[in-house]
Amino acid sequence: MKNWNFLALCFMIIAFSSCISQKQITYFQSPVADSTALAEEITNKYVPIIQPNDLLSINVNSLNPEASSFFNPYAAADRVPTFQTVNGQVPVTAVVGYLVDTQGQVQLPLVGKIKVLGLTSAGAQELIQEKLKNFLKEPTVAVRFLNFKVSVLGEVTRPSMFSVPNEQMTLTEALSLAGDITIYGRRDNVMIIRETNGKREFGRVNMNQRDLFKSPFYYLHPNDVIYVEPGKARLAYADRFYTILPSIIGALSLIAVILRR
- Strands 190-196 and 225-228, by their bridges, are antiparallel
For residue 261, name the pLDDT band (cuts at 50, 70, 90): low
Q: How many domains does the chain have?
A: 3
- 20, 91 contact by CB (below 8 A): no
Whole-number Cα distances in Å, 16 to 19, 108, 112, 180:
7, 61, 64, 20
* pLDDT above 90: percentage of residues in the chain: 52
In a domain, 91, yes or no: yes
CATH code (residue 139): 3.30.1950.10
Last residue of one domain, picked from the residues 100, 130, 145? 145
Q: For 32-76, what is each residue's pLDDT tens digit? A: 666 555 677 888 889 999 999 999 999 999 999 999 998 888 765
Q: For 66-111, what is each residue's pLDDT tens digit? A: 999 988 887 654 444 445 454 455 444 445 789 999 999 999 999 9
CATH code (residue 205): 3.10.560.10
Predicted local confidence at residue 121, as pLDDT: 95
Q: For 150-203, what is each residue's pLDDT tens digit? A: 999 999 999 999 998 888 999 999 999 999 999 999 999 999 999 987 899 999
Q: For 196-223, what is each residue's pLDDT tens digit? A: 878 999 999 999 998 899 999 999 999 9
In a domain, 80, yes or no: yes
In a domain, 16, yes or no: no
For residue 253, name the pLDDT band (cuts at 50, 70, 90): low
In a domain, 159, yes or no: yes
Any bridge partners for residue 209, and if so which? 29
Query: Domain range spanning residue 185?
Result: 149-230
Q: Are residues 215 and 154 in the same domain?
A: yes
In a domain, 66, yes or no: yes
Last residue of one domain, picked from the residues 111, 130, 145? 145
Three-state SS for 143?
strand
